[in-house]
């Protein structure tokens, strides 16, 4: 085990930490909620808000952990605060020379995966981390990594709000100023929470729902259609030869194509249904209440509309389309049929709508 070094600004860092007067305080719902969200988004059983004191690691909030604190020298988070600008990821602690013989790793049910996003004071001091952990090896994808970093910023705002509230309590004689400051911080936190919720379900480039949001919508629509015996169609669309567009015209032009296509889809689905960016140049479409023929006509209209978008270069799309099976279906099955139909359209020459026949 390699013991963590102490930051060069250790004295100033400890002074900043203690200014928040949060060590050894009681549990608070706001912090508990953050670790619950972090564990859920990262699909792990354990998460904590960890603060690194002089010789110990203390947990303000924790999920799936028994201890309320550990020694600093055995702390993963004490390593994470050494690089405040980045998330520390340890895919498999048993293979990492810093941690392989760490007691938190070697004990029964010990840690394997760890990711910690540093918590920064207003002066940039790393106070601790928001971290997620598992007893099996793993890694965060890009969306989970971004969500963990966003949540760590939320914790920093909560800490700052505590500090400000403490200072404001010393100035109760100036009631108007006191109330205005609290309202401003409350509004700021609400805006940050709204931004975080939006980030977890929206594609940042196109503004369309992302893959995760579409998966939730598809699952709900499938269950509802089966229960109500209503038709449901699903389409998967891919921009033909998109790599060539990027290679010949540059990624800025490629992004413009994605944005313009997203605008077209948004106008098509403003009344009902949903269009989402599934990833890369692939989009997905949900047609609740639409028959297969109705969905096919709409897909044909979209395909033809793409061809005349004012982009200054030729663009076409291939679309795979399917419908809910009469005897019911799962979200996974209906999506796979639509995806298979997309690849059939691409193999068949592209720039066409291919309908998947039900087995």
pLDDT at site 198? 47
Residue 194: the pLDDT is: 46
Q: Is 281 a catalytic residue?
A: yes
- One domain, residues 315 and 195: no
If asked whether residues 176 and 318 sit together in one domain, one would say no
Q: Is residue 103 part of a domain?
A: yes
In a domain, 231, yes or no: yes
Whether residue 51 is contained in a domain is answered as: yes
Residues 48 and 175 in one domain: yes
Final residue of a structural domain among 199, 230, 250 = 199
Is the whole-model pTM more than 0.95? no
Last residue of a domain, one of 150, 165, 199: 199
Three-class DSSP labels, 133-193 = EECCCCCCCHHHHHHHHHHHHHHHHHHHHHHHHHHHHCCCCCHHHHHHHHHHHHHHHHHHH
Residue 289 lies in a domain: yes
Beta strands at 353-355 and 317-323: parallel, antiparallel or unpaired: parallel
182 and 241 in a common domain = no
Does 191 share its domain with 328?
no
pLDDT tens, residue order, the chain (359 aa): 799 999 999 999 999 999 999 999 999 999 999 999 999 999 999 999 999 999 999 999 999 999 999 999 999 999 999 999 999 999 999 999 999 999 999 999 999 999 999 999 989 999 999 999 999 999 999 999 999 999 999 999 999 988 877 766 666 656 655 566 666 666 665 655 544 444 568 898 999 999 999 999 999 999 999 888 899 999 999 999 999 999 999 999 999 999 999 999 999 887 788 999 998 999 999 999 999 999 999 999 999 999 999 888 999 999 999 999 887 788 899 999 999 999 999 999 999 999 997 75
Same domain, 231 and 292: yes
Same domain as 92, residue 26: yes
Residue 91 lies in a domain: yes
Q: Kindly list the distances between the CA atom of residue 229 and the CA atoms of 153, 216, 338, 355, in Å, as whole numbers in the listed order.
A: 45, 20, 20, 21
- The reply to whether 288 falls in a domain is yes
Q: Are residues 45 and 74 in the same domain?
A: yes
Catalytic choice (281, 282, 300, 332): 281
179: CATH: 3.30.450.40
Is the domain of 189 the same as that of 223?
no
Tell me whether residue 1 is in a domain: no
pLDDT for residue 299: 95
* CATH code assigned at 287: 3.30.70.270
Asked if residue 84 and residue 118 are part of one domain, the reply reads: yes
| 206 falls within a domain | no
Domain match, 162 and 253 both:
no
User: Which structural domain, as residue segments, surrounds residue 177?
Assistant: 10-199
21 and 154 share one domain: yes
Domain endpoint, select from 145, 170, 199: 199
Using left for φ > 0, alpha for ψ between -120 and 50, and beta otherwise, residue 161 falls in alpha
Please give the pLDDT value at position 1.
Answer: 79
Structurally, the chain folds into a number of domains equal to 2
């Amino acid at each position: 085990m390699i013991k963590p070094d102490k930051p060069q600004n250790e004295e100033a860092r400890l002074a900043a930490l203690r200014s928040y007067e949060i060590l050894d305080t009681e549990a608070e719902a706001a912090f508990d909620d953050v670790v619950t969200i972090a564990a859920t988004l990262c699909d792990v059983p354990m998460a904590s808000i960890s603060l690194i004191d002089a010789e110990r690691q203390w947990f303000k909030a924790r999920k799936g952990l028994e201890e309320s604190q550990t020694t600093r020298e055995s702390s993963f988070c004490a390593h994470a605060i050494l690089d405040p600008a980045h998330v520390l990821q340890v895919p498999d602690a048993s293979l990492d020379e810093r941690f392989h013989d760490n007691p938190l790793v070697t004990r029964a049910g010990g840690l394997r995966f760890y990711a910690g996003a540093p918590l920064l004071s207003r002066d940039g001091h790393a106070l601790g981390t928001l971290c997620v952990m598992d007893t099996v090896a793993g890694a965060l994808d890009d969306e989970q990594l971004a969500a963990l970093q966003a949540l760590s910023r939320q914790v920093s705002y909560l800490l700052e709000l505590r500090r400000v509230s403490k200072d404001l309590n010393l100035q109760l004689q100036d009631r108007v100023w006191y109330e205005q400051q609290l309202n401003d911080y409350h509004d700021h936190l609400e805006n940050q929470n709204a931004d975080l919720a939006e980030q977890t379900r929206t594609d940042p480039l196109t503004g369309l729902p992302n893959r995760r949001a579409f998966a939730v919508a598809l699952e709900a629509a499938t269950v509802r259609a089966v229960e109500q015996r209503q038709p449901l169609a699903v389409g998967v669309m891919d921009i033909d030869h998109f790599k060539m567009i990027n290679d010949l015209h540059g990624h800025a032009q490629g992004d413009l194509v994605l944005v313009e296509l997203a605008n077209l889809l948004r106008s098509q689905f403003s009344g009902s249904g949903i269009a989402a960016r599934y990833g890369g140049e692939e989009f997905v479409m949900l047609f609740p209440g639409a028959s297969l023929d109705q969905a096919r006509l709409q897909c044909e209209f979209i395909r033809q509309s793409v061809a005349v978008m004012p982009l200054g270069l030729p663009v076409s799309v291939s679309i795979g389309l399917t419908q809910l099976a009469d005897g019911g279906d799962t979200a996974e099955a209906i999506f796979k049929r639509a995806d298979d139909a997309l690849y059939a359209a691409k193999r068949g020459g592209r720039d066409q709508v291919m309908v998947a026949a039900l087995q």
